[in-house]
Chain A
Amino acid sequence: MLTRLREGTPDAAREGRAESAAAAPDAVGAPVHVRDVGHSFGELRAIERIDLEIEPGEVVGIVGPSGCGKTTLLELVAGLRSSDSGTVSVGGKKAEDERLARCAYMPQRDLLLPWLSALDNAALALRIAGVPRHEARARAGEHFARLGLEGFENTRPDELSGGMRQRVAFLRTLMAGRPVLLLDEPFASLDAITRAEMQSWLARVLDPDRHTVLLVTHDVEEALYLSDRVLVLSSRPARVADRIEIGATRAPDRAAAVTASEFTALKERALRSLAEGAR
């Protein structure tokens, strides 16, 4: 496990962790191994030989140009697709249904069901698992206050703001109780200010002791801020153009974190790798 404490912010970081430890349903991070994986759609080569080892509880960001196969990589890990070559394992299991059972995939758009309240949307995974409605609601409802959703339990999605919808979608993903979270550009649809708020929020909520997280984004800053490690992918067919280790904690003060000199140095490196990989 990486040391995740940055000078001047240990208290805040601990607070964030305590808060999310209570927020996360029972799940223990599982390792994710991607070995020599390639994938094609017909003639189109989407992914070319990617290797990726993620330790339990690690947050790995994946950035790359649009259409480079980032989403395909997530779907492969999630068990929603099988790869043409190479192996993917989650928690040591390679079979698709075993991966499906260990991962919770959060697509780019919130995709909340418009006929369900925020609470019922958040409880969806529990209902699918056969938990009775009353109990599912109670269990999902426990987390509403922590996610800043208190009082909106019975609100329909079309009456929630974009940031709130995204938080409900995140809680829905969390409530699946899976050790691995696969987040596909979770904040891409939000405006810049809300996105920054949501990133600080996620930094507080992500629980390194519990969830292994794979975060796909096209926003280098978001990836560097939220991850322990960032993979820069090249344009299609996707290869790993760079691997960047971030040896610092996710500071709750996002504005300070993303303007720190070491952060900007990493950002420059990531942007250069991205530009080279796009060639």
Chain B
Amino acid sequence: MSAARRYLAPLAVILVLLGAWEMAARWDWISNALNVEDFLIPAPSDIAISLWEDRSLMLSDGWVTLQEVLLGFAIAAAAGVAFALMIHLSETARRAVYPLLVASQTIPIVILAPILVVWFGFGLTPKLVIVALICFFPITVNMLDGLRSVDPDLTKMMRSLGAGRLQRLWRAELPASLPYAFSGARVAITVSVIGAVFAEYVGSSEGLGHLINQSQAQLLTARSFAAVVILSAMAIALFGLVSLIERRLVSWDSRGVTRA
């Protein structure tokens, strides 16, 4: 299928939806139906105008959010891999640490975020903590599955060829875990954007979350929608970037998929 034909269907759906939204907003169908002021319902064209007019704002706040996402994700990836290796190599570590890791995911971020702001202030730190906290878990769990996916017969064969614990880890288990770790990373990078925005929402003086917060307080709905468009674009781009790195590193696994 050619590129044009492949993108035709989703493009058409998006255009139809945008057109319907445009008409509904322009002719006040939504605001009348919801019984709210018409400036609260921005049309797609309003959002596009805001994207252009507020571009310097979008750019500077978007950059702040992107930094939080990338740094937080990097911390999460390092912690995720470290936890996965630790749990994989030591049964004691598994019993000691795994329940805590699961428990960490039950902490309501809504409650934790304001406390972090009190502790660390409006700066970068609380954002990194939140992003890393929600991102490391899918990486850890998936990578752990990958490390344990190695066939017991393969382990026997490697032992027979003289491979000790670290050799088996390096030559078999780590490469085998890569596709799994990347599945986790793709989930993580997507939620990392939500995490960063939420952290900004709770307490910040910059970033897209802060911009959305402010715009809503000023009833600039078009601008907050425009910020959401930037966020989505950022998430899609980051997801694509992780997928690209994965295809480079894990050629043996994704090959079947990409060849089709």
Contacts and interface: CB of A to CB of B under 8 A. Distances in A.
Interface of A: 75, 78-80, 100-101, 103-109, 111, 113-115, 124-125, 127-129, 156, 158, 172-173, 176, 182
Nearest to A125: B161
Contacts of A115: 175, 250-252
Given A113-B172, A114-B252, A114-B253, A128 B156 contact: no
Interface size class of B (residues with CB under 8 A): 20 to 34
B154 interface: yes
B163 A100 contact: no
Contacts, number: 60
Contact of B171 (A100, A103, A109, A113): A113
A111 B150 CA distance: 10
A109 B160 contact: no
B125 interface: no
A101 B162 contact: yes
10 nearest A-B residue pairs (beta carbon): A105-B160, A125-B161, A114-B252, A107-B153, A115-B252, A111-B154, A128-B163, A115-B175, A128-B162, A176-B161
Contacts of B251: 115
A111 B151 contact: yes
Contact of A107 (B157, B253, B256): B157
Contacts of B171: 113, 124, 127-128
A124 B252 contact: no
A109 B159 contact: no
Contacts of A106: 157
Nearest to B250: A115
A105 B156 contact: yes
A51 to B, nearest CB: 23
Given A115-B250, A125-B161, 16 more contacts: A75-B156, A78-B160, A80-B156, A80-B160, A100-B160, A100-B162, A101-B162, A103-B160, A104-B161, A109-B151, A111-B157, A128-B161, A128-B163, A128-B171, A176-B160, A176-B162
B158 interface: yes
A46 to B, nearest CB: 16
